[in-house]
Chains A and B, each alone.
Chain A
Protein backbone atom coordinates (compact mmCIF):
# COMPACT_ATOMS: atom_id res chain seq x y z
CA UNK A 1 0.00 0.00 0.00
CA UNK A 2 1.11 3.58 -0.55
CA UNK A 3 1.59 6.09 2.21
CA UNK A 4 -0.94 8.50 0.74
CA UNK A 5 -3.50 10.05 3.09
CA UNK A 6 -6.64 7.99 2.89
CA UNK A 7 -9.04 10.09 4.91
CA UNK A 8 -9.52 13.07 2.62
CA UNK A 9 -12.66 13.03 0.50
CA UNK A 10 -10.51 13.50 -2.59
CA UNK A 11 -7.74 11.09 -1.69
CA UNK A 12 -6.37 7.88 -3.11
CA UNK A 13 -8.77 5.07 -2.27
CA UNK A 14 -6.58 2.09 -3.06
CA UNK A 15 -8.21 0.52 -6.11
CA UNK A 16 -7.93 -3.29 -6.15
CA UNK A 17 -6.97 -5.55 -9.04
CA UNK A 18 -9.51 -5.06 -11.80
CA UNK A 19 -10.98 -1.83 -10.41
CA UNK A 20 -10.76 1.26 -12.61
CA UNK A 21 -7.75 3.34 -11.51
CA UNK A 22 -7.67 5.98 -14.26
CA UNK A 23 -11.00 7.35 -15.41
CA UNK A 24 -11.37 10.01 -18.09
CA UNK A 25 -14.72 11.63 -18.75
CA UNK A 26 -15.08 13.97 -21.76
CA UNK A 27 -11.62 15.39 -21.23
CA UNK A 28 -10.96 18.57 -23.20
CA UNK A 29 -7.67 20.38 -23.75
CA UNK A 30 -7.26 23.62 -25.65
CA UNK A 31 -4.16 25.54 -26.64
CA UNK A 32 -5.63 28.94 -27.50
CA UNK A 33 -8.17 28.34 -30.26
CA UNK A 34 -6.78 24.91 -31.02
CA UNK A 35 -8.54 21.93 -29.44
CA UNK A 36 -5.84 19.32 -28.76
CA UNK A 37 -8.15 16.89 -26.96
CA UNK A 38 -11.81 16.77 -27.85
CA UNK A 39 -13.98 15.03 -25.25
CA UNK A 40 -11.78 12.01 -24.61
CA UNK A 41 -13.31 9.31 -22.44
CA UNK A 42 -11.74 6.04 -21.37
CA UNK A 43 -11.00 3.90 -18.39
CA UNK A 44 -7.94 1.95 -17.29
CA UNK A 45 -8.17 -0.85 -14.75
CA UNK A 46 -5.58 -1.88 -12.20
CA UNK A 47 -2.98 -4.13 -13.82
CA UNK A 48 -3.94 -3.20 -17.37
CA UNK A 49 -1.35 -2.30 -20.00
CA UNK A 50 -2.75 0.16 -22.53
CA UNK A 51 -0.74 1.22 -25.57
CA UNK A 52 -1.60 4.47 -27.29
CA UNK A 53 -0.69 4.83 -30.93
CA UNK A 54 -1.53 7.28 -33.67
CA UNK A 55 -0.20 9.95 -36.02
CA UNK A 56 1.98 12.83 -34.86
CA UNK A 57 0.02 15.71 -33.34
CA UNK A 58 -2.91 13.46 -32.49
CA UNK A 59 -2.80 14.41 -28.82
CA UNK A 60 -1.14 11.32 -27.31
CA UNK A 61 1.46 13.22 -25.26
CA UNK A 62 -1.04 15.83 -24.20
CA UNK A 63 -3.41 13.13 -22.97
CA UNK A 64 -0.68 11.39 -20.98
CA UNK A 65 0.54 14.68 -19.47
CA UNK A 66 -2.94 15.56 -18.28
CA UNK A 67 -3.17 12.37 -16.27
CA UNK A 68 -0.39 13.52 -13.92
CA UNK A 69 -1.26 17.20 -13.98
CA UNK A 70 1.56 18.39 -16.25
CA UNK A 71 -1.15 19.95 -18.39
CA UNK A 72 -4.27 21.61 -17.02
CA UNK A 73 -7.74 20.32 -17.87
CA UNK A 74 -10.12 22.59 -19.78
CA UNK A 75 -13.19 20.38 -19.65
CA UNK A 76 -14.41 17.07 -18.26
CA UNK A 77 -12.51 15.29 -15.52
CA UNK A 78 -9.84 12.72 -14.84
CA UNK A 79 -10.07 10.53 -11.74
CA UNK A 80 -6.90 8.75 -10.62
CA UNK A 81 -7.49 6.23 -7.84
CA UNK A 82 -10.29 8.36 -6.46
CA UNK A 83 -8.49 11.71 -6.79
CA UNK A 84 -10.38 14.13 -9.01
CA UNK A 85 -8.73 16.46 -11.50
CA UNK A 86 -8.96 19.33 -12.13
CA UNK A 87 -8.34 19.99 -8.48
CA UNK A 88 -6.23 22.04 -6.14
CA UNK A 89 -2.45 21.92 -5.72
CA UNK A 90 -2.86 19.21 -3.13
CA UNK A 91 -4.83 16.98 -5.49
CA UNK A 92 -2.25 17.35 -8.22
CA UNK A 93 0.47 16.53 -5.73
CA UNK A 94 -1.47 13.45 -4.58
CA UNK A 95 -2.01 12.29 -8.15
CA UNK A 96 1.70 12.64 -8.87
CA UNK A 97 2.51 10.33 -5.97
CA UNK A 98 0.29 7.69 -7.59
CA UNK A 99 1.53 8.18 -11.14
CA UNK A 100 5.08 7.81 -12.41
CA UNK A 101 6.17 9.17 -15.77
CA UNK A 102 8.94 8.26 -18.21
CA UNK A 103 9.81 10.75 -20.93
CA UNK A 104 11.15 10.33 -24.44
CA UNK A 105 14.24 12.37 -23.55
CA UNK A 106 14.82 10.65 -20.16
CA UNK A 107 15.04 13.99 -18.31
CA UNK A 108 17.44 12.67 -15.70
CA UNK A 109 18.93 15.29 -13.41
CA UNK A 110 22.28 15.69 -15.13
CA UNK A 111 24.06 17.28 -12.17
CA UNK A 112 23.24 14.36 -9.87
CA UNK A 113 24.62 10.84 -9.73
CA UNK A 114 22.31 7.96 -10.56
CA UNK A 115 21.91 7.30 -6.84
CA UNK A 116 20.96 10.92 -6.14
CA UNK A 117 18.48 10.83 -9.01
CA UNK A 118 16.79 7.85 -7.38
CA UNK A 119 16.72 8.90 -3.73
CA UNK A 120 15.76 12.56 -4.15
CA UNK A 121 12.00 12.12 -4.59
CA UNK A 122 11.53 9.30 -2.05
CA UNK A 123 13.37 11.33 0.59
CA UNK A 124 11.80 14.74 -0.06
CA UNK A 125 8.31 13.79 -1.26
CA UNK A 126 7.77 10.52 0.59
CA UNK A 127 9.76 11.20 3.73
CA UNK A 128 11.93 8.09 3.46
CA UNK A 129 15.14 7.93 5.48
CA UNK A 130 18.50 7.87 3.73
CA UNK A 131 19.09 4.17 4.41
CA UNK A 132 15.67 3.11 3.17
CA UNK A 133 15.95 5.28 0.08
CA UNK A 134 19.41 3.92 -0.67
CA UNK A 135 18.23 0.33 -0.32
CA UNK A 136 15.31 1.02 -2.59
CA UNK A 137 17.55 2.68 -5.18
CA UNK A 138 19.94 -0.28 -5.19
CA UNK A 139 17.11 -2.79 -5.45
CA UNK A 140 15.45 -0.96 -8.36
CA UNK A 141 18.69 -0.52 -10.27
CA UNK A 142 19.31 -4.26 -9.91
CA UNK A 143 15.83 -4.83 -11.22
CA UNK A 144 16.44 -2.76 -14.37
CA UNK A 145 19.81 -4.46 -14.80
CA UNK A 146 22.28 -1.65 -14.02
CA UNK A 147 23.05 -2.12 -10.34
CA UNK A 148 26.74 -1.50 -11.03
CA UNK A 149 26.17 2.04 -12.40
CA UNK A 150 24.77 3.57 -9.23
CA UNK A 151 27.58 6.03 -8.60
CA UNK A 152 27.97 7.21 -12.19
CA UNK A 153 26.56 10.39 -13.63
CA UNK A 154 23.87 10.21 -16.35
CA UNK A 155 26.24 11.62 -18.97
CA UNK A 156 28.49 8.58 -18.44
CA UNK A 157 25.68 6.17 -19.39
CA UNK A 158 24.31 5.07 -22.75
CA UNK A 159 20.84 6.19 -23.78
CA UNK A 160 19.36 2.81 -22.97
CA UNK A 161 20.94 2.84 -19.52
CA UNK A 162 19.73 6.39 -18.92
CA UNK A 163 16.18 5.44 -19.80
CA UNK A 164 16.36 2.46 -17.44
CA UNK A 165 17.56 4.79 -14.69
CA UNK A 166 14.60 7.04 -15.49
CA UNK A 167 12.24 4.08 -15.13
CA UNK A 168 13.85 3.12 -11.82
CA UNK A 169 13.61 6.73 -10.64
CA UNK A 170 9.87 6.78 -11.32
CA UNK A 171 9.42 3.38 -9.65
CA UNK A 172 11.23 4.60 -6.54
CA UNK A 173 8.11 6.59 -5.69
CA UNK A 174 6.14 3.33 -5.73
CA UNK A 175 3.51 4.62 -8.15
CA UNK A 176 0.38 2.65 -8.90
CA UNK A 177 0.31 3.76 -12.53
CA UNK A 178 3.21 4.30 -14.93
CA UNK A 179 3.00 6.60 -17.96
CA UNK A 180 5.49 6.18 -20.80
CA UNK A 181 5.71 8.81 -23.55
CA UNK A 182 7.62 7.25 -26.45
CA UNK A 183 10.27 5.83 -24.12
CA UNK A 184 12.35 4.31 -26.92
CA UNK A 185 12.01 6.98 -29.63
CA UNK A 186 15.24 8.75 -28.70
CA UNK A 187 17.26 5.52 -28.54
CA UNK A 188 19.63 3.91 -30.98
CA UNK A 189 18.10 0.69 -32.36
CA UNK A 190 20.43 -1.61 -30.42
CA UNK A 191 19.28 -0.10 -27.12
CA UNK A 192 15.55 -0.27 -27.69
CA UNK A 193 15.27 -3.89 -26.67
CA UNK A 194 16.87 -3.46 -23.24
CA UNK A 195 14.31 -0.79 -22.37
CA UNK A 196 11.37 -2.73 -23.77
CA UNK A 197 12.49 -5.78 -21.78
CA UNK A 198 12.36 -3.77 -18.57
CA UNK A 199 8.90 -2.52 -19.49
CA UNK A 200 7.74 -6.03 -20.31
CA UNK A 201 8.95 -7.28 -16.94
CA UNK A 202 7.15 -4.39 -15.27
CA UNK A 203 3.93 -5.25 -17.08
CA UNK A 204 4.23 -8.89 -16.01
CA UNK A 205 4.67 -7.80 -12.39
CA UNK A 206 1.17 -6.32 -12.56
CA UNK A 207 1.95 -2.62 -12.98
CA UNK A 208 -0.78 -0.52 -14.56
CA UNK A 209 0.77 1.11 -17.62
CA UNK A 210 -0.18 3.63 -20.28
CA UNK A 211 2.38 3.56 -23.06
CA UNK A 212 2.57 5.92 -26.03
CA UNK A 213 4.74 4.05 -28.49
CA UNK A 214 5.65 3.38 -32.09
CA UNK A 215 6.87 -0.12 -31.17
CA UNK A 216 4.03 -2.14 -32.64
CA UNK A 217 5.70 -5.41 -31.67
CA UNK A 218 5.62 -4.35 -28.04
CA UNK A 219 2.00 -3.24 -28.31
CA UNK A 220 1.01 -6.51 -29.92
CA UNK A 221 2.75 -8.65 -27.29
CA UNK A 222 2.31 -6.74 -24.06
CA UNK A 223 -0.75 -4.50 -24.36
CA UNK A 224 -4.14 -5.60 -23.15
CA UNK A 225 -5.72 -2.83 -25.21
CA UNK A 226 -4.57 -0.50 -27.95
CA UNK A 227 -5.99 3.01 -28.31
CA UNK A 228 -5.74 4.80 -31.62
CA UNK A 229 -5.65 8.57 -31.17
CA UNK A 230 -5.94 11.12 -33.95
CA UNK A 231 -7.22 14.70 -34.06
CA UNK A 232 -7.60 14.78 -30.30
CA UNK A 233 -9.93 11.81 -30.13
CA UNK A 234 -9.74 8.13 -29.32
CA UNK A 235 -10.98 6.66 -32.58
CA UNK A 236 -10.34 3.00 -31.80
CA UNK A 237 -10.12 1.05 -28.55
CA UNK A 238 -9.46 -2.63 -29.19
CA UNK A 239 -7.41 -5.59 -27.98
CA UNK A 240 -4.17 -5.88 -30.00
CA UNK A 241 -5.18 -9.02 -31.92
CA UNK A 242 -8.18 -7.21 -33.34
CA UNK A 243 -6.48 -3.81 -33.61
CA UNK A 244 -3.75 -5.10 -35.89
CA UNK A 245 -5.86 -7.50 -37.96
CA UNK A 246 -9.05 -5.63 -38.82
CA UNK A 247 -9.10 -1.85 -38.99
CA UNK A 248 -12.45 -0.39 -37.98
CA UNK A 249 -11.54 3.17 -38.92
CA UNK A 250 -10.26 4.59 -42.17
CA UNK A 251 -7.46 6.58 -40.53
CA UNK A 252 -6.47 3.57 -38.47
CA UNK A 253 -6.15 1.54 -41.68
CA UNK A 254 -4.10 4.32 -43.23
CA UNK A 255 -1.88 4.51 -40.13
CA UNK A 256 -1.38 0.75 -39.97
CA UNK A 257 -0.52 0.52 -43.65
CA UNK A 258 2.26 3.04 -43.09
CA UNK A 259 3.67 1.61 -39.92
CA UNK A 260 3.44 -2.15 -40.35
Chain B
Protein backbone atom coordinates (compact mmCIF):
# COMPACT_ATOMS: atom_id res chain seq x y z
CA UNK B 1 0.00 0.00 0.00
CA UNK B 2 2.54 2.55 1.22
CA UNK B 3 5.15 1.12 -1.13
CA UNK B 4 2.93 1.42 -4.18
CA UNK B 5 2.15 4.98 -3.17
CA UNK B 6 5.83 5.83 -2.95
CA UNK B 7 6.62 4.30 -6.30
CA UNK B 8 3.75 6.12 -7.95
CA UNK B 9 4.99 9.30 -6.28
CA UNK B 10 8.46 8.82 -7.74
CA UNK B 11 7.08 8.11 -11.19
CA UNK B 12 4.92 11.18 -10.88
CA UNK B 13 7.95 13.17 -9.81
CA UNK B 14 9.89 11.95 -12.82
CA UNK B 15 7.07 12.83 -15.17
CA UNK B 16 6.87 16.24 -13.56
CA UNK B 17 10.56 16.84 -14.02
CA UNK B 18 10.39 15.80 -17.67
CA UNK B 19 7.36 17.99 -18.18
CA UNK B 20 9.12 20.87 -16.48
CA UNK B 21 12.14 20.62 -18.73
CA UNK B 22 10.04 20.21 -21.85
CA UNK B 23 8.12 23.37 -21.06
CA UNK B 24 11.35 25.28 -20.40
CA UNK B 25 12.78 24.11 -23.71
CA UNK B 26 9.64 25.03 -25.60
CA UNK B 27 9.54 28.49 -24.04
CA UNK B 28 13.24 28.98 -24.79
CA UNK B 29 12.79 27.98 -28.42
CA UNK B 30 9.82 30.30 -28.78
CA UNK B 31 11.80 33.21 -27.38
CA UNK B 32 14.86 32.52 -29.50
CA UNK B 33 12.76 32.39 -32.65
CA UNK B 34 11.27 35.77 -31.90
CA UNK B 35 14.25 37.56 -30.46
CA UNK B 36 15.15 41.00 -31.69
CA UNK B 37 18.81 40.19 -32.24
CA UNK B 38 19.87 43.76 -32.96
CA UNK B 39 18.57 44.78 -29.57
CA UNK B 40 20.08 41.77 -27.84
CA UNK B 41 23.49 42.48 -29.37
CA UNK B 42 23.31 46.01 -28.02
CA UNK B 43 22.88 44.76 -24.42
CA UNK B 44 25.65 45.53 -22.05
CA UNK B 45 25.72 44.73 -18.39
CA UNK B 46 29.10 46.15 -17.46
CA UNK B 47 27.78 49.58 -16.46
CA UNK B 48 25.76 47.99 -13.64
CA UNK B 49 29.06 47.46 -11.85
CA UNK B 50 29.39 51.21 -11.44
CA UNK B 51 26.21 51.25 -9.34
CA UNK B 52 27.34 48.41 -7.12
CA UNK B 53 27.34 50.48 -3.91
CA UNK B 54 23.75 51.62 -4.40
CA UNK B 55 22.68 48.13 -5.37
CA UNK B 56 24.39 46.54 -2.39
CA UNK B 57 22.81 49.11 -0.07
CA UNK B 58 19.48 48.39 -1.71
CA UNK B 59 20.02 44.72 -1.19
CA UNK B 60 20.68 45.46 2.48
CA UNK B 61 17.22 47.06 2.74
CA UNK B 62 15.67 44.08 0.96
CA UNK B 63 17.36 41.73 3.38
CA UNK B 64 16.31 43.90 6.32
CA UNK B 65 12.65 43.74 5.23
CA UNK B 66 12.88 39.99 4.60
CA UNK B 67 14.43 39.19 7.95
CA UNK B 68 12.09 41.59 9.69
CA UNK B 69 9.09 39.87 8.08
CA UNK B 70 10.43 36.58 9.40
CA UNK B 71 11.13 37.71 12.95
CA UNK B 72 8.07 39.91 13.46
CA UNK B 73 5.92 37.41 11.60
CA UNK B 74 6.97 34.40 13.62
CA UNK B 75 6.86 36.26 16.94
CA UNK B 76 3.44 37.81 16.49
CA UNK B 77 2.17 34.92 14.39
CA UNK B 78 2.91 32.58 17.29
CA UNK B 79 1.23 34.88 19.81
CA UNK B 80 -1.83 35.31 17.59
CA UNK B 81 -1.98 31.57 16.90
CA UNK B 82 -2.04 30.94 20.65
CA UNK B 83 -4.82 33.54 20.86
CA UNK B 84 -6.72 31.68 18.14
CA UNK B 85 -6.88 28.65 20.48
CA UNK B 86 -8.20 30.66 23.43
CA UNK B 87 -11.40 29.54 25.16
CA UNK B 88 -12.29 33.27 25.23
CA UNK B 89 -14.34 33.71 22.05
CA UNK B 90 -13.83 37.47 21.46
CA UNK B 91 -10.06 36.92 21.37
CA UNK B 92 -10.52 34.21 18.75
CA UNK B 93 -12.72 36.53 16.68
CA UNK B 94 -10.16 39.30 16.94
CA UNK B 95 -7.39 37.05 15.66
CA UNK B 96 -9.62 35.70 12.87
CA UNK B 97 -10.56 39.24 11.80
CA UNK B 98 -6.94 40.33 11.80
CA UNK B 99 -5.85 37.37 9.72
CA UNK B 100 -8.66 37.79 7.19
CA UNK B 101 -8.13 41.52 6.75
CA UNK B 102 -4.40 41.31 6.22
CA UNK B 103 -4.43 38.22 4.06
CA UNK B 104 -7.25 39.37 1.83
CA UNK B 105 -6.08 42.85 0.92
CA UNK B 106 -3.17 43.48 -1.45
CA UNK B 107 0.14 44.32 0.19
CA UNK B 108 0.42 47.42 -2.02
CA UNK B 109 -2.92 48.72 -0.77
CA UNK B 110 -1.92 48.08 2.85
CA UNK B 111 1.40 49.84 2.37
CA UNK B 112 -0.16 52.92 0.77
CA UNK B 113 -2.84 52.97 3.45
CA UNK B 114 -0.28 52.84 6.24
CA UNK B 115 1.93 55.46 4.64
CA UNK B 116 -0.67 57.95 3.44
CA UNK B 117 -3.99 57.31 5.20
CA UNK B 118 -2.80 56.33 8.67
CA UNK B 119 -1.02 59.68 9.31
CA UNK B 120 -4.26 61.51 8.48
CA UNK B 121 -6.21 59.33 10.88
CA UNK B 122 -3.71 59.20 13.73
CA UNK B 123 -1.48 62.19 13.15
CA UNK B 124 1.62 60.00 13.27
CA UNK B 125 3.93 60.45 10.31
CA UNK B 126 6.42 57.78 9.39
CA UNK B 127 9.18 57.55 6.83
CA UNK B 128 8.63 55.34 3.82
CA UNK B 129 10.98 52.69 5.19
CA UNK B 130 9.20 52.58 8.56
CA UNK B 131 5.83 52.33 6.80
CA UNK B 132 7.26 49.46 4.77
CA UNK B 133 8.55 47.73 7.88
CA UNK B 134 5.16 48.11 9.59
CA UNK B 135 3.21 46.99 6.54
CA UNK B 136 5.23 43.92 5.73
CA UNK B 137 5.38 42.99 9.43
CA UNK B 138 1.60 43.21 9.76
CA UNK B 139 1.04 41.06 6.73
CA UNK B 140 3.71 38.57 7.74
CA UNK B 141 2.08 38.20 11.17
CA UNK B 142 -1.21 37.34 9.47
CA UNK B 143 0.32 34.67 7.24
CA UNK B 144 2.48 33.21 9.98
CA UNK B 145 -0.53 33.05 12.33
CA UNK B 146 -2.21 30.65 9.94
CA UNK B 147 0.93 28.55 9.57
CA UNK B 148 1.50 28.36 13.33
CA UNK B 149 -2.17 27.58 13.92
CA UNK B 150 -1.88 24.59 11.60
CA UNK B 151 1.27 23.48 13.43
CA UNK B 152 -0.41 23.78 16.82
CA UNK B 153 -3.43 21.83 15.66
CA UNK B 154 -1.17 19.08 14.37
CA UNK B 155 0.16 18.41 17.88
CA UNK B 156 -1.60 15.23 19.07
CA UNK B 157 -4.41 15.88 21.52
CA UNK B 158 -2.85 13.31 23.90
CA UNK B 159 0.23 15.51 24.41
CA UNK B 160 -1.93 18.35 25.68
CA UNK B 161 -4.03 16.06 27.83
CA UNK B 162 -0.91 14.57 29.39
CA UNK B 163 0.32 18.08 30.17
CA UNK B 164 -3.05 18.97 31.70
CA UNK B 165 -3.20 15.78 33.71
CA UNK B 166 0.26 16.55 35.10
CA UNK B 167 -1.05 19.91 36.27
CA UNK B 168 1.39 21.90 34.14
CA UNK B 169 0.62 25.63 34.21
CA UNK B 170 -0.86 26.89 30.92
CA UNK B 171 2.32 28.81 30.14
CA UNK B 172 4.53 25.74 30.48
CA UNK B 173 2.05 23.73 28.47
CA UNK B 174 2.51 26.13 25.57
CA UNK B 175 6.23 26.79 25.78
CA UNK B 176 7.41 23.28 26.58
CA UNK B 177 4.80 20.87 25.26
CA UNK B 178 2.85 22.38 22.36
CA UNK B 179 5.10 24.91 20.64
CA UNK B 180 8.33 22.90 20.21
CA UNK B 181 6.77 20.13 18.10
CA UNK B 182 4.41 22.62 16.43
CA UNK B 183 7.28 24.83 15.28
CA UNK B 184 9.28 21.84 14.17
CA UNK B 185 6.53 20.68 11.84
CA UNK B 186 6.01 24.10 10.28
CA UNK B 187 9.63 25.19 9.84
CA UNK B 188 9.56 24.41 6.08
CA UNK B 189 6.27 26.26 5.67
CA UNK B 190 7.66 29.23 7.62
CA UNK B 191 10.76 29.36 5.42
CA UNK B 192 8.77 29.08 2.20
CA UNK B 193 6.55 31.88 3.40
CA UNK B 194 9.63 33.98 4.08
CA UNK B 195 10.86 33.37 0.54
CA UNK B 196 7.56 34.82 -0.63
CA UNK B 197 8.15 37.87 1.53
CA UNK B 198 11.65 38.20 0.10
CA UNK B 199 10.02 38.70 -3.30
CA UNK B 200 7.23 40.85 -1.89
CA UNK B 201 9.74 43.41 -0.61
CA UNK B 202 9.95 44.67 -4.21
CA UNK B 203 6.41 45.99 -3.72
CA UNK B 204 7.62 48.06 -0.77
CA UNK B 205 10.38 49.45 -3.00
CA UNK B 206 8.11 50.38 -5.86
CA UNK B 207 5.04 51.37 -3.83
CA UNK B 208 6.70 53.54 -1.19
CA UNK B 209 9.85 54.42 -3.16
CA UNK B 210 12.01 52.83 -0.50
CA UNK B 211 15.51 52.24 -1.89
CA UNK B 212 15.43 48.46 -1.68
CA UNK B 213 17.23 46.29 -4.20
CA UNK B 214 14.49 46.52 -6.80
CA UNK B 215 14.04 50.25 -6.58
CA UNK B 216 17.82 50.73 -6.68
CA UNK B 217 17.89 48.71 -9.89
CA UNK B 218 15.13 50.90 -11.32
CA UNK B 219 17.16 53.98 -10.42
CA UNK B 220 20.03 52.60 -12.45
CA UNK B 221 17.64 52.34 -15.36
CA UNK B 222 16.53 55.92 -14.94
CA UNK B 223 20.08 57.17 -14.67
CA UNK B 224 21.43 55.32 -17.68
CA UNK B 225 18.38 55.09 -19.95
CA UNK B 226 19.16 51.39 -20.15
CA UNK B 227 15.88 49.88 -19.09
CA UNK B 228 16.21 46.19 -19.84
CA UNK B 229 19.57 45.30 -18.34
CA UNK B 230 19.07 46.43 -14.70
CA UNK B 231 15.61 44.88 -14.69
CA UNK B 232 16.95 41.61 -16.07
CA UNK B 233 19.78 41.71 -13.60
CA UNK B 234 17.36 42.27 -10.69
CA UNK B 235 15.12 39.44 -11.87
CA UNK B 236 18.11 37.12 -12.09
CA UNK B 237 19.20 37.96 -8.55
CA UNK B 238 15.69 37.31 -7.15
CA UNK B 239 15.44 34.11 -9.17
CA UNK B 240 18.77 32.66 -8.11
CA UNK B 241 18.39 33.52 -4.42
CA UNK B 242 14.74 32.51 -4.17
CA UNK B 243 15.38 29.29 -6.02
CA UNK B 244 18.39 28.39 -3.92
CA UNK B 245 16.55 29.20 -0.70
CA UNK B 246 13.70 27.00 -1.88
CA UNK B 247 16.05 24.09 -2.58
CA UNK B 248 17.67 24.54 0.80
CA UNK B 249 14.26 24.55 2.49
CA UNK B 250 13.31 21.36 0.70
CA UNK B 251 16.49 19.67 1.90
CA UNK B 252 15.81 20.81 5.44
CA UNK B 253 12.24 19.54 5.16
CA UNK B 254 13.48 16.12 4.06
CA UNK B 255 15.90 16.02 6.97
CA UNK B 256 13.22 17.03 9.45
CA UNK B 257 10.71 14.43 8.29
CA UNK B 258 13.39 11.73 8.20
CA UNK B 259 14.27 12.43 11.84
CA UNK B 260 10.65 12.18 12.89
CA UNK B 261 9.50 9.64 15.48
Interface residues of A (CB under 8 A from B): 68-70, 93, 96-97, 99-101, 103, 105, 107-112, 120-121, 124-125, 155, 166, 169-170, 173
A68 close to B168 (CB less than 8 A)? no
10 A-B residue pairs with CB within 8 Å: A100-B165, A107-B158, A109-B162, A110-B159, A121-B166, A121-B168, A124-B176, A125-B169, A155-B261, A170-B165
Partner of B166 from the list A69, A96, A110, A111 (CB cut-off 8 Å) is: A96
The distance from the CB of A124 to the nearest CB of chain B, in whole angstroms, is: 4
Contact B172 A125 (CB under 8 A): yes
Is there contact, CB below 8 Å, between B165 and A125?
Answer: no
Query: Which A residues touch B163, using CB under 8 A?
Result: 109
CB <8 Å contact, A103 and B161: yes
Q: How far is the CA of A69 from the CA of B180 in the complex (A)?
A: 25
Q: For the complex, give the distance between the alpha carbons of A70 and B157 in Å.
A: 12
Q: List residues of chain B with CB under 8 Å of any chain A CB.
A: 156, 158-159, 161-169, 172, 176-177, 180-181, 184, 261
Contact across chains for B184 and A111 when beta carbons are under 8 A apart: yes
Contact partner of A103 (CB less than 8 A), chosen from B158, B169, B180, is B158
A100 to B261, CA, bound (A): 26
Q: Is the interface of B mostly helix, strand, loop or mixed?
A: helix
Give which listed residue, B161, B176, B261, contacts A70 with CB less than 8 A. Answer: B161
Tell me the smallest distance from the CB of B214 to a CB of chain A, in Å: 40
Query: Taking the nearest CB of chain B, how far is it from the CB of A172, in angstroms?
Result: 9
A-chain residues with CB within 8 Å of residue B158 when the two chains form the complex: 103, 105, 107
Known: A103-B158, A103-B161. A109 touches B167 (CB 8 A): no
Question: Could you tell me if B161 and A173 are in contact, using CB atoms closer than 8 angstroms?
Answer: no
Choice from A96, A108, A111, A169 contacting B164 with Cβ under 8 Å: A96
Contact of A124 with B165 in the complex, beta carbons under 8 Å: no
Q: Are A124 and B261 in contact (CB under 8 A)?
A: no
Across-interface contacts of B169 in A (CB, < 8 A): 93, 124-125
In the bound assembly, the distance between CA atoms of A218 and B167 in angstroms comes to 29
A121 CB to nearest chain B CB (Å) = 4
Tell me the bound Cα distance from A108 to B158 in angstroms: 9
Question: Can you name the residue of chain A whose Cβ is closest to the Cβ of B261?
Answer: A155
The answer to whether A111 touches B162, judged by C-beta atoms less than 8 angstroms apart, is: no
User: A97 touching B162 by the CB < 8 A rule?
Assistant: no
Report whether B167 and A97 are in contact in the complex, using a CB–CB cutoff of 8 Å: yes
Complex interface: chain B residues within 8 A of A70 (CB): 161, 164-165
Cα(A166)–Cα(B159), bound, Å? 12
From residue B260, how far is it (CB to closest CB) to chain A in Å? 9
B127 CB, min distance to chain A CBs, angstroms: 43
B172 to A: closest C-beta gap in Å:
4
Q: Which residues of B contact A108 (CB under 8 A)?
A: 162
Q: Which residues from chain A contact B165 at a C-beta distance below 8 Å? A: 68, 70, 96, 99-101, 103, 170
Contact of B167 among A111, A112, A125, A166 (CB under 8 A): A125
Docked complex Cα distance between A103 and B156 (Å): 13
B residues in contact with A100, CB < 8 Å = 165-166
| Chain B proximity of A169: nearest CB distance (Å) | 7
Q: Which 5 A-B pairs have the closest CB atoms?
A: A96-B167, A107-B162, A107-B158, A101-B165, A121-B166
* Residues of chain B within 8 A of A107, CB atoms compared: 156, 158-159, 161-162
Contacts A96-B164, A101-B165: A109 and B159 contacting too (C-beta < 8 A)?
Answer: yes
Nearest B residue to A68, CB-CB:
B165
In angstroms, how far is the closest chain B Cβ from the Cβ of A130? 15
Residue from B159, B168, B181 in contact with A125 in the complex, judged by beta carbons closer than 8 Å = B168
Compute how far the CA of A93 lies from the CA of B170 in the bound complex, rounded to whole angstroms. Answer: 10
B172 touches A111 (CB 8 A): no
Which residues from B are CB-within-8-Å of A109?
159, 162-163, 176-177
Q: A110-B261, A111-B184 are in contact. Are A125 and B162 (CB under 8 A)?
A: no
CA of A103 to CA of B158, assembled, Å:
8
CB pair A110–B167 under 8 Å, yes or no, is no
Q: Are A173 and B159 in contact (CB under 8 A)?
A: no
Chain A residue numbers with a CB within 8 Å of B159 are 107, 109-110
- In-complex Cβ contact of A169 among B166, B181, B261 (8 A): B166
- Give the docked Cα–Cα distance between A101 and B164 (Å): 10
Given contacts A96-B165, A155-B261, contact A120 B172 (CB under 8 A): yes
List B contacts of A99 (CB < 8 A): 165
Within the complex, the shortest CB–CB distance from B46 to chain A, in Å, comes to 53
Bound: A158/B172 CA distance, A:
27
| A120/B261 in contact, CB under 8 A | no
Which residue of chain B has the shortest Cβ distance to A112 in the bound complex? B176
Contact of A173 with B162 in the complex, beta carbons under 8 Å = no
Give Cα distance in the complex from A170 to B172, angstroms. 16
Q: Which residues of B contact A112 (CB under 8 A)?
A: 176
Q: Return A11 CB to nearest CB of chain B, in Å.
A: 14
Give chain A residues whose Cβ lies under 8 Å from the Cβ of B181.
110-111
Report the nearest A residue to B161, measured CB to CB: A70
